[in-house]
Amino acid sequence: MSEIILDIKKISVIFNKMFFGRSQTIKAIDNVSLQIFNSETFGIVGESGSGKSTLGNAMIGLQTLSSGEIFYKEIALPLSGTKDWMRLRRQLQIIFQDPFTSLNPRRTIGQSLAEPIITHNLCSKNDVTSKVLSLLDQVGLNSNMAERYPNAFSGGQLQRICIARALAVQPQLIICDEITSALDVSTQAQIISLLKDLKLNQDLSLVFISHDLGLVRNIADRILVMYLGRIVEIGSSDIIFSDPKHPYTQALINAAPIPEPSREAARIKTPLFGEIPDPQNPPSGCFFRTRCNQVHDRCLIETPALKQVKKNQFVSCHHTEVH
Amino acid sequence: MHASLNVKAGQRNGLIGESGSGKSVMARSILKLDDHRTTIYGTNSCIELDGTDILKLPEKSIGKFRGETVSMVFQNPMHSLNPSFTVGAQLRRVLMAHRNYSRSDSKIKILSALKSVDLPGVEELIQRYPHELSGGQCQRVMVAMAILCEPKLIVADEPTSALDVTAQDKVLQILKKLSVENKIAVLMITHDMGVVAQFCEIVNVMYGGRIIETADVKTLFTKPAHPYTAALLAATPDPSKPKKVFNSIPGLQESRTGKMSSSCAFIKRCKFAQPICSHAPEFRTLNDGQSVACHFAGELSLSK
Ligand SMILES: Nc1ncnc2c1ncn2[C@@H]1O[C@H](COP(=O)(O)OP(=O)(O)OP(=O)(O)O)[C@@H](O)[C@H]1O
Ligand code: SF4
Ligand SMILES: [Mg+2]
């Protein structure tokens, strides 16, 4: 495969919260290692609270690590706010779910788009306007929209503007954290097509975080499945979706409805029993053992290591046999 | 709003459409939450439940009607529950508003409702506060609340869109089971075609304040007759299939201005539009179980 742009080595993130005078610790990321390659789209799925956003933030230095390291093109990722980080920041962008709060309401779209171009000195002063217009054009918006303020736009249009702003600085990597979940089905499809088109024309890696498994399968080359801050399965999107090996991945894919009534009705549903455990008090051994239909004695004691089961599929489960 | 909706006893109906299409207005009018002075129903608006037109119910029977005949489950369970009361206290309040039970009878009723939505440790659960539960558990409490007074219809307005897939799956399965076992009709309001495929028997598609297609679920997915329905299906990603090219609908859904236009609501985004489409098409029956508002219904080749 191509060049590694982000090398994540054994990172953990621990949050300390005060709750009624008692300090509580949550391990939001637990010893995660993975790589992001040049020009790939990397999907992250998992239940709410599994650590997807924390990992996304960590990937661009927005989250302090409790241990481990992240390398961006072989340089250790500096901490946010430092001078070194500011320099790298241009190459690492993030887009969030709510475009309304991501844009300054008192600035025109043109001003919002020009700002990063000017700050990072990406073109001569005279060319800023034409650069802004070409960005708008790239995301399918009219040039006359540059004069307007955010409140004049719909959610889908604003999300396009956020994409344009991320693209303005010619980044290497964009983290997309639930960017379509506030949008309608047809607008969501437009945004996905836009991201796919943009990727065809430049060297750009995407990390796509979403609850919508259909969308993730449709856009991602590789995926990561997380459970309580740990990797349960990682590898090729097509392989994992068509032949998931981890009992949690199997349950997750089984729970996502297929938008075809006859095939959906014919499916054998095996719903996940129980609830996601309290993250402050995770189970011993395998974190998934309290809900797993394959659990055996070993799972209570020993944390399963990530093992390769196929060319492009890695699983953390004692039950999975190595071929 | 020009819309008629016909819900049969025990039937699972879907109302699908994008934001601003009028789904929630429809839901509110079913529950009569709308202020009658500001809401003017179109002359041909009609919402029938088991043969009775709900919009024509006399004012004074509304209180009894809401909660007893029809109950509701909303999108955000955390907002629908009061954070400062225990789960048990909130269920008791709903029950007491409609039924004259003794304290012990009401407790039995509440515990059995909570058990029926598959919540564990119900004796202990009724002592807990909403923030001590997960989103999926809260939504199941809401479903338990909705069935307390044995309604004929549950209106569920995007009940799973704040939940993740596993929690959504569970809520849908429980609602389906309760609907079948107790013959409760459900109106599932959603923008998610996957939810429709999994849950509904009959589907109503809304666009621009109108219902533009009604069909049984299999017909709708295999032979959509309205260009908008077909476009919506084409824009829905399928987790069981590898990457494909999305055929997204060009343009934006019009923001509704209150006035109904005299043309077809979909005219500006429809690739089949002809001059005749500047006259609103009639909602007509195409064949058994499928009705469509499009001048060319049945004549277009709407491939997915
Ligand atoms: N700033 C914070 N302080 C304390 N705990 C936090 C903080 N941010 C996240 N957490 C906790 O860390 C864990 C992982 O949270 P995270 O937001 O990364 O999950 P997620 O997978 O993105 O969930 P969702 O799907 O709901 O967005 C959760 O238990 C969460 O409560
Ligand atoms: S390690 Fe054991 S408990 Fe964990 S997923 Fe595998 S079989 Fe289940
Ligand atoms: Mg998140």
DSSP string, chain B: -B-EEEE-TT-EEEEE--TTSSHHHHHHHHTT-S-TTT----TT-EEEETTEEGGG--GGGHHHIIIIIEEEE-S-HHHHS-TTS-HHHHHHHHHHHH----HHHHHHHHHHHHHHTT-S-HHHHTTS-GGGS-HHHHHHHHHHHHHTT--SEEEEESTTTTS-HHHHHHHHHHHHHHHHHHT-EEEEEES-HHHHHHH-SEEEEEETTEEEEEEEHHHHHHS--SHHHHHHHHTS--TTS------PPPS-PPPP-SSPPSS-TTGGG-TT--GGGGSPPP-EEEETTEEE--TTTTTS----
- Asked if residue A308 has pLDDT above 60, the reply is yes
Of A185, A258, A262, the CB nearest to B238: A258
pLDDT, tens digit, 9 for 90 and up, residues B222-261: 999 999 999 999 999 999 998 876 666 666 555 444 456 7
The answer to the question of residue B189 being in a domain is no
For A215-228, what is each residue's pLDDT tens digit?
999 999 999 999 99
Find all residues with CB under 8 Å of B103, minimum gap 6, and list them.
Answer: none
Query: What is the number of CB-based contacts under 8 A between chain A and chain B?
Result: 135
Q: Under an 8 A CB cutoff, do A272 and B248 touch? A: no
Report pLDDT for A52. Answer: 96
Q: What are phi and psi for residue B35, nearest 5 degrees?
A: -75, 120
Residue scoring higher pLDDT (A280 or B36): A280
Ligand 1, atom 25, lies closest to the CA of A48
Q: Which of A63, A13, A6, A46 is nearest to A216 (CA)?
A: A46
Residue bearing the bigger pLDDT, B139 or A86: B139
Is B231 a member of any domain? Answer: yes
Q: Stretch B265-278: mean pLDDT, rounded?
A: 90
Q: What is the CA radius of gyration of chain A?
A: 21
Q: Is the pLDDT of residue B2 over 60?
A: no
Q: How far, in Å, CA of A251 to CA of A271, rounded?
A: 7
Mutate to test the interface with A, among B238, B254, B256 (most CBs of A within 10 A): B238
pLDDT of residue B9: 85
A53 lines ligand 1 (CB under 6 A): yes
Mean pLDDT of all residues in B202-220: 93
Crossing angle between the packed helical segments A155-168 and A185-200, to the nearest 10 degrees:
20
Residue B299: inside a domain: yes
Chain B nearest-CA distance from A83, in A, is 38
Domain housing B292: 217-304
pLDDT(A125) > 80: yes
Of B166, B198, B246, the CB nearest to A272: B166
**Distance from the CA of A53 to the center of ligand 3, in angstroms?**
4
- What the block records as the tokens of B82 is 């009061």
| Lowest-confidence segment of A17-26, A132-141, B164-173 by average pLDDT | A17-26
Using the 8-state DSSP alphabet, how is residue A106 labeled? T
What is the band of B290 on the pLDDT scale with cuts at 50, 70, 90?
Answer: very high
Evaluate whether residue B193 is within a structural domain: no
CB contact under 8 A, A214 and B191: no
Q: Is B89 on the interface with A (CB under 8 A)?
A: no
Chain B contact probe: residue of A41, A157, A184 with most B CBs at under 10 A: A184
Structural domains in chain A, CATH included, are 4-321 (3.40.50.300)
Contact between residue B246 and residue A188 where contact means Cβ atoms under 8 Å apart: no
Sort out which chain B residues have CB atoms less than 8 A from A139's CB and list them: none
- What integer pLDDT is reported at residue B36 of this predicted model? 44
**pLDDT tens track for A65-104:** 999 999 999 999 988 888 888 888 889 999 998 888 889 9
Q: How far is A144 from chain B (nearest CA, A)?
A: 17
Provide the token pair at A133.
Answer: 């217009």
Q: How far is A210 from chain B (nearest CA, A)?
A: 10
Average pLDDT score over residue span B91-119: 91
In a domain, B251, yes or no: yes
* Structure tokens that stand for B142 in this block: 């809401």
Task: Give the closest residue (by CA) to ligand 1 atom 7.
Answer: A15
Structural domain includes residue B282? yes
Answer whether B239 sits within 8 Å of A217, measured CB to CB.
yes
pLDDT, tens digit, 9 for 90 and up, residues B19-42? 777 777 777 776 655 544 334 344
pLDDT > 90 in chain B, percent: 47
Q: Can you give the pLDDT at residue B39?
A: 42
Comparing A175-184, B16-25, B81-90, B282-291, the range with the smallest average pLDDT is: B16-25
User: pTM for this one?
Assistant: 0.90
Let me know if residue B115 belongs to a domain.
no
Name the residue with tokens 């072989």: A74
> Which ligand has its closest atom nearest to the C-alpha of B164?
1
Tokens of A23: 């300090």
Ligand 1 midpoint to CA A230 (Å): 13
Type of residue found at A137? D
The preferred substitution site among A319, A320, A321, A322 for testing ligand 2, maximizing ligand atoms within 8 Å of CB, is A319
CA distances from B184 to B30, B46, B57, B63, B143 (A): 16, 20, 20, 19, 12
Helices A155-168 and A109-119 pack at an angle, to 10 degrees, of 20
Which has more confidence, B69 or A304? A304
pLDDT for the residue numbered B173:
94
Q: Is there a contact between A97 and A176 (Cβ–Cβ < 8 Å)? A: no
Q: How far apart are CA B259 and CA B242, in angstroms?
A: 43
Pick the residue with more confidence: A4 or A184? A4
Please give the tally of structural domains in chain B. Answer: 1
Q: CA-CA distances (angstroms) from residue B284 to A151, B42, B211, B213?
A: 39, 17, 11, 9
The nearest CA of chain B is from the CA of A41 a distance in Å of: 12
Q: Average model confidence (pLDDT) for chain A? A: 92
Least confident of A31-45, A168-182, A236-250: A168-182
Amino acid at the residue A155: G
pLDDT in tens, A8-50: 999 999 998 776 777 889 999 999 999 999 999 999 999 988 9
Token code pair at residue A301: 């004691």
pLDDT of residue A293: 92
Side-chain-side CA neighbours of residue B162 (13 Å): 19
**Nearest CA among B258, B238, B287, B206 for reference residue B17:** B206
Task: Please tell me the predicted confidence (pLDDT) of residue B249.
Answer: 67
For residue B294, tell me if it sits in a domain.
Answer: yes
Among residues A191, A164, A196, A166, the alpha carbon closest in space to that of A179 is found at A191
Provide mean pLDDT across the span B123-130: 93
